[in-house]
């Protein structure tokens, strides 16, 4: 097997592991079924980005929370992170925090 083949195989393995990580949660799932929004507000999940897996210090455990792009009649476009809905103001604040993090770690 050539070096190029090894590189291609490694990249395929990396992509596969990343995809599996997006499909299968590694920890207890923390989410909400949102039955009211689905039934009454025409909730539509437009994209699923995988799982955020933060550590919860109070419970001394990790959680898996799905991250979704959603639209419904009540909130319009928003992100769902587990049981939490994030609107435009929340997303703007997250962008500021991520920019600060990137600057702090030299990205």
38-55 pLDDT, tens digit per residue, is 999 999 999 999 999 999
Do the bridges between strand 61-72 and strand 28-29 make them parallel or antiparallel, or are there none, so unpaired? parallel
Residue 30 confidence (pLDDT) above 70: yes
Rounded to whole angstroms, the Cα distance separating 22 from 16 reads 10
Domain ranges, ordered by start, for the chain = 27-105
57-66 pLDDT, tens digit per residue, is 999 999 999 9
With contact defined as beta carbons under 8 Å apart, do 64 and 53 qualify? yes
> pLDDT band for position 89 (50/70/90)?
very high
* The Cα angle at residue 61 between residues 57 and 63, in degrees rounded to 5: 105
> pLDDT band for position 14 (50/70/90)?
low
With contact defined as beta carbons under 8 Å apart, do 73 and 38 qualify? no
Q: Quickly tell me which residue has 């049981």 as its tokens.
A: 83
pLDDT value at residue 64: 96
């Amino acid at each position: 097997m050539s070096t190029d083949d090894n590189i291609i195989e490694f990249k395929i393995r990396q992509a596969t592991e990343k995809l599996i990580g997006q499909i299968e949660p590694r920890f207890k799932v923390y989410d909400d079924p949102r039955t009211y929004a689905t039934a009454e507000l025409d909730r539509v999940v437009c994209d699923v980005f995988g799982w955020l897996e933060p550590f919860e210090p109070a419970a001394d455990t990790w959680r898996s929370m799905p991250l979704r792009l959603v639209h419904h009649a009540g909130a319009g476009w928003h992100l769902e992170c587990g049981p939490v809905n994030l609107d435009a103001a929340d997303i703007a604040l997250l962008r500021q925090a991520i920019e600060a993090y990137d600057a702090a770690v030299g990205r």
